[in-house]
Each structure stands twice: as C-alpha cells, then as structure tokens.
Amino acid sequence: SQKISKTRWRPLPAAALQPPDLFATGSWDNEDNRLAVWGVGDLGNVGLSGEYQGEPQLLCDIRHDGDVMDMQFLDEERIVVASSTGTVTIFRHHQNNQTLSVNQRWEKAHYHVNQDASCGGAACTGVICNNPEIVTVGEDGRINLFRADQKDPVRTIDNADSSTLHAVTFLRITEILTVNSIGQLKIWDLRQQRNEPSQIFSLTGDRVPLHCVDRHPNQQHIVATGGQDGMLSIWDIRQGTMPVSLLNAHEAEMWEVHFHPSNPDHLFTCSEDGSLWHWDTSTDISDKPSFLHQGGRSTTYFSHTTMNQSVVSAWLSNDPTKDRMEITNLIPNQTLSVNSLDVLGPCLVYGTDAEAIYVSRQLFA
C-alpha cells in the first residue's frame, strides 16, 4: 500500500467516444515509491448512487527514485514524472505486455549547488507537457524546457525565481505560467531570450504560497490557483495584477485545482483537509435533477440574481457565488489529505494519504 501523491487519466484519442479506461498513480513518503498504471475495466458495475463498484486493476508498476512530485501523460503511452530528487523521467507504458520501462531520464534537472554534486538535487515540483515539449519547475527556482526526443534541455532559465516554484501550466504554445511560494504568478514567453517574466501577478501583500494552477481550457486568459490558505483564486490575466475573485474553499492547503477539460463550467479542488470540492457554475443547474443529493453529500445552493451570463464566463463575475454556483464536497467522510485529482469525460480519479485511490465514473449523472 502506498500514499498516493498524483493521479492522472491517460488521454483519449481525439475522436474517442468511450470514457477513459486507464490511469496512472505515483506515490510518496514510502520506502519504495512506485509509478503504477491501473485499468478501470468494464462499465457494468455501477451502484445505486453512481459509485463504480469494480476495483481498479493494477496493470503494472515500476520503482521510482524519490517521491513522485508531479506527473503528466505526454501521449497515450508515455508518462513524464517529476521527482523529489530533481530528476525528470519519461516512462513508457507497453500495452502489449503491460509493463513500464524508462524511456528517457534527465538526472538532476533541478539542483541547489551544482548538477554534479553527489547530493544537492532540488525537488522538481511541477511538470507540464505539450508533446514533444516538456516544461519543469522546481524548488531551485529553475525552469527547464525539454523536448522528449532530445537529451539536453532546449532552454533553462536558471534564476527564474528566488523562491520555490510550485506549479506550471501552458497558457499557449509559447507561453507558460508559474506559481511560487510567495503568492506570485509569473508569465514567461519562451520565444524571448531574456530570462525575465513578461508579467507578474500577486495576491496582495499576503505572500501566501500558491501550490497549484490550472488554465481554463477554452478561455486562456482565465486561470485558477490554490494555495496554502485553502482559498480558490480566479484570475483574468488580461487585466490587473490581482485576482478577479477570492473564494473561501478549504480549511487547509489546496493541493490541486482542475477545470474540467471539456466542461469548464465545472472545476475541482482537493485539499490537505481531506475534502474534494466540485464547483459548478453552469447556468442550467435549476433545470437538471441534482445528482449531488445522493450518497449523503452536502450541497450549497446560491440564488441566481444576474441576467444570462453565457457570453461572459461565470468565473469572471466579481463574486461567482452570488450568481449561481453549486459547491459539493464529493467526499462526505473526510479522512487524510486528498493529494491529487484528475477529471476526464464523466470520470474522476483521486488519491489520498490514506493509501487509497478512488474512481467515480458518473460525474454528471
């Protein structure tokens, strides 16, 4: 049994109609950490309240040096894994015989003193992929741009940040956004040779460490972040340097935030406090039967006072909760930290420090 630090669905081919069927997990804080690939089998067994009855099947796993700090699928076969040792590894999942192997490794992509010292690796805290490009960030304040087919980094920004970089996402093909441990967002244009961010945003004065970031899949100027105080911040990077809205969310660190990739009115956050929240700003809430009452889940409703906002994203209203938002904790009995979640199609997967992995196959029943 392993404490799960990361969970990720395998991406589906563009034309795929079926729900995702494979996911990967990474572990942390174990003597022997593993990267594992799981199958979720047939759809036949769904319980009364929409819970998936079958157990995910472990298809294969492989040892991983250090804690798995972050993980992204590069494509349907390759998984990029960031380690607390500073190393970045691409693993290949061989579906014909269900094995995992190391495809490529960048030793000590992140380091404190020098790359050759026997120790001194700095944790690689975040990785994001846009095949074949891979961007990594780390505790050393360094940003690396790799290509999956090249041994040497394409680009390294050595002193990108004087504090720890916690997470990174692509804004567009040539631009990335990082969040750091003093509450700043920075935009980096990878076409520019200078090693300075093109824009800096910050949570005013508080310097609350930001742990996670995600970009709205259709409206690239909308960004969500979460940090140490459990607040959810929504930013419009076209204007101002402060968040558009700050929403009270969790009682402890928010570890991950994800817009639903094909249904971005829905957003998901998970936290050290053992909760996983589903934020729903879709405007037809009143019309659909709520699946959120099943299984003893607590649901909060907000009245709808504004006119049709279909043109403007609901996320950008000054206080989205005033218009219409439904927030549901998907884990009624809170336990240990929920470290990671991923959503794809109707499916949710999340992993916890209770050495457990959970799969829900009917998010929008």
Q: Tell me the β-bridge partners of 266.
A: 280
Task: Report the alpha-carbon distance of residue 179 to residue 211 in Å, rounded.
Answer: 7
Tokens of 240: 């101002």
Half-sphere exposure of 166 (CA within 13 A, CB side): 23
Q: Map residue 320 onto helix, strand or coil.
A: helix
Contact 232, 270 (CB under 8 A): no
Q: Map residue 326 onto helix, strand or coil.
A: strand
Determine the pLDDT at residue 325: 82
Determine the pLDDT at residue 8: 98
Instruction: Single out the residue of 244, 139, 145 nearest to residue 189, CA to CA.
Output: 145
Tokens of 50: 């929409």
Determine the pLDDT at residue 300: 39
> Fold for domain 4-284+310-360?
Methylamine Dehydrogenase; Chain H (2.130.10)
Distant-in-sequence contacts of 51-57, Cβ < 8 A, 24+ apart: 51/295, 51/360, 52/359, 52/360, 52/361, 52/362, 56/23, 56/357, 56/359
Task: Report the alpha-carbon distance of residue 180 to residue 102 in Å, rounded.
Answer: 30
Ordered by start, the domain boundaries in the chain are 4-284+310-360
Task: Report the alpha-carbon distance of residue 334 to residue 336 in Å, rounded.
Answer: 7
Q: Map residue 294 onto helix, strand or coil.
A: helix
Determine the pLDDT at residue 203: 82
Instruction: For the full predicted model, state whether its pTM sits above 0.75.
Output: yes
Average pLDDT per 10 consecutive residues for the chain, totaling 365 residues: 93 85 94 94 56 78 96 97 97 96 95 75 95 95 96 93 96 95 95 92 86 95 96 92 90 96 94 95 55 36 33 66 76 86 95 91 80
Determine the pLDDT at residue 168: 98
Residues in the chain: 365
Task: Report the alpha-carbon distance of residue 35 to residue 103 in Å, rounded.
Answer: 14
